[in-house]
Amino acid sequence: MKRKRERKKVTSDRLLARLREVGALLEGHFHLTSGQHSPVFVQCSRIMQYPPDAALIGEALAGRFSDLGVSVVVGPAMGGVLLAHEVARALGVRSAFTEKQDGSQVLRRGFRLTPQDRVLLVEDVLTTGGSVLRSAAAVRGTGAKIVGVGLIIDRTAGRAAEALGLGPEVRVESLAFVDAPAYPPDQCPLCREGVGLVRPKDQDPVG
């Protein structure tokens, strides 16, 4: 029993190894959708396509927020949809997602939040935090309270809470951290070194 729990435990190192194994985390020299260059490419759909991995990630993230009385888990589409579902399943609450509309993220499809709701926002990878912040605005617009932000990967190497600036009452947790700077092409050190540039297919929109 003990061994089983140990094997299933998601540590940052194990998660990073698995992300590399399935091609969700690549290292090299990449042209991102934003037009910037980075030594790291992340595409979490490549791990979330495996339900056992998605379930483990959901359980691990849920464990970081199990004391906060979360009533609903909300993620921005597309990256946050499956993740919100898995985290919500582990917490035994419902899940919802926000969608892009006219430059913001909105709750559609009859998803309703009330001022009594305690919301955990989730996102697969945090780069600039834009989609999380736009989702936060949608949630706060309903009067619901945001109690946490859960991430699979924090690309800012631990500066997510600072980058988001949602306030000290919002707990920010990430399962793994990578230091993934992004540079305008004319300031990219990898270009200067002459490292071959890769443009990955089907990237996540940078948010």
| Residues found near Zn ion in the complex (CB under 5 A) | 37, 188, 190-191
Q: How far is CA 73 from CA 11, 66, 95, 156, 165, in A?
A: 22, 12, 5, 23, 19
Least Å from the CB of residue 190 to Zn ion: 4
Residue 191 Cβ, how far from Zn ion at the closest point, in Å? Answer: 4
Between 119 and 178, CB nearer to Zn ion:
178
Choice between 66 and 187, CB closer to Zn ion:
187
Least Cβ distance, residue 41 to Zn ion (angstroms)? 12
Who's near 73: CB < 8 A, 6+ residues apart? 84, 85, 87, 88, 91, 93, 94, 95, 96, 119, 120, 121, 122
Enumerate residues 6+ apart whose C-beta is below 8 A from 88: 58, 72, 73, 94, 95
3-class DSSP assignment, residue 40: strand
Q: How far is the CB of 189 from Zn ion (least distance, A)?
A: 8
Q: Which CB atom, from 106 or from 191, has the smaller least distance to Zn ion? A: 191
CB nearer to Zn ion: pick between 26 and 191: 191
